[in-house]
Amino acid sequence: MNYCHQVASDNNRSPEYFVPEFVKCMLEINTPPCESGLDLAREYLQNLQIAITAANSMNLRLYISM
């Protein structure tokens, strides 16, 4: 289990939303299906905070590419 999975579980979030990419330095952040753009933004920001928390605790920086 990667560290994002642990932080997500510790924060009552689903670890399945954090998927390692084929390149070791990349992480894909997913969200559950949402009914509105506001719900989607809320879910994404909560999952992004999990990734930031995990990266900070490992002394890593998180760069976002969209």
**Helix 37-57 and helix 3-10, axial crossing angle in degrees, nearest 10:** 120
Percent of the chain, pLDDT > 70?
97
- The per-residue pLDDT for 36 is 97
Q: What is the pTM of this model?
A: 0.70
Q: Identify which has the larger pLDDT, 54 or 21.
A: 54
Do the beta carbons of residue 19 and residue 13 sit within 8 Å?
A: no
CB atoms within 10 A of CB 47: 21
pLDDT tens profile 21-50:
777 777 888 899 999 999 999 999 999 999
Average of per-residue pLDDT values in the chain: 86
